[in-house]
């Protein structure tokens, strides 16, 4: 990929044993909008801030059909499969690329085995892609961390995947600008036997902790998956209901 100065890998080791580009990628993640996920006993919820840069942004929201897919121009929470959803902190365009690759990998697995891909397998394959971009010439690491929420035969699962390609299973986690406050809050509030609705309330309260301005259904996004194994992004109306319950 190219001659001259840029054909070596940008992720070459520094004398201290670090991969500096990955550190910088994590910084990019750390300055992204806050997102978080909570694993309940009967499901998983993921949520993120969705601060639009100006009031002039045309945020058209149309709720269509029974599947409740809202066609927001900027949708941060995405499906990877009907039973796995994902949210990110960091660079949106990099997220789009990863979502596309992951969806393809999930569908290839399904085509081969005629079985939905287990959450751990999809997370591993996505993490492998991210790792490849830390060891190839002429590319840079992805500037996103992902929170993958899914429900399969092993029950509800929540995974975080970092730009380095490492992945961790979490009971509850946060990423982005407000990560340390959010994590402290979650550590205090998390209980093992939490149910999905409690988890959604806790998620909203955690987002509220570091929120600049008024929290509303227009500037947060919430996705959930329960024992029905169908991942859904909540409509603004549903978010309003949860917000009202939290007040």
List interacting residues with other proteins (CB under 8 A): 111-115, 118, 120-121, 124
Shorter beta-carbon distance to other proteins: residue 48 or 83 = 83
Phi, psi of 58 (to 5 degrees): -85, 95
C-alpha to C-alpha distance for 133 and 149, rounded to whole angstroms: 23
Whole-number minimum distance, CB 131 to other proteins, in Å?
16
Shorter beta-carbon distance to other proteins: residue 109 or 185 = 109
Whole-number minimum distance, CB 113 to other proteins, in Å?
5
Q: Which two tokens stand for residue 207?
A: 């987002």
How many alpha carbons lie under 13 Å from residue 56 in its C-beta half-sphere? 0
Query: Would you give the end-to-end CA distance of the chain in angstroms?
Result: 55
Whole-number minimum distance, CB 229 to other proteins, in Å?
16
The answer to whether 95 and 35 are in contact (CB under 8 A) is no
Shorter beta-carbon distance to other proteins: residue 124 or 189 = 124
Whole-number minimum distance, CB 66 to other proteins, in Å?
29
Instruction: Look up tokens 């997102």; give the residue.
Output: 35
The answer to whether 22 and 163 are in contact (CB under 8 A) is yes
DSSP 3-state of 102 = helix
Shorter beta-carbon distance to other proteins: residue 73 or 128 = 128
Whole-number minimum distance, CB 134 to other proteins, in Å?
22
Shorter beta-carbon distance to other proteins: residue 77 or 119 = 119
């Amino acid at each position: 990929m190219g001659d001259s100065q840029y054909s070596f890998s940008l992720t070459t080791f520094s004398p201290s044993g670090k991969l500096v580009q990955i550190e910088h990628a994590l910084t990019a993640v750390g300055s992204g909008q806050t997102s978080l996920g909570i694993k309940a006993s009967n499901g998983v919820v993921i949520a993120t801030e969705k601060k639009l840069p100006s009031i002039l942004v045309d945020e058209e929201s149309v709720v269509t059909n029974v599947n409740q897919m809202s066609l927001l121009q900027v949708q941060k929470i995405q499906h990877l499969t009907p039973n796995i959803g994902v949210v990110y902190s960091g660079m949106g365009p990099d997220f789009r690329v990863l979502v596309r690759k992951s969806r393809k990998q999930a569908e290839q697995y399904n085509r081969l085995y005629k079985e939905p891909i287990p959450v751990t397998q999809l997370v591993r394959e996505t993490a492998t892609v991210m790792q490849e971009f830390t060891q190839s010439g002429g590319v840079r690491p992805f500037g996103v961390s992902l929170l993958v929420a899914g429900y399969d035969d092993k029950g509800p699962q929540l995974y975080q995947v970092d730009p380095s390609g490492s992945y961790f299973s979490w009971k509850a986690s946060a990423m982005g600008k407000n990560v340390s406050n959010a994590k402290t809050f979650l550590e205090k509030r998390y209980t093992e036997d939490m149910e999905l609705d409690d988890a959604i309330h806790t998620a909203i309260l955690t987002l509220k902790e570091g929120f600049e301005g008024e929290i509303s259904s227009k500037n947060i996004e919430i996705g959930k998956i329960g024992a029905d194994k169908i991942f859904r992004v909540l409509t603004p109306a549903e978010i309003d209901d949860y917000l009202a319950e939290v007040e």
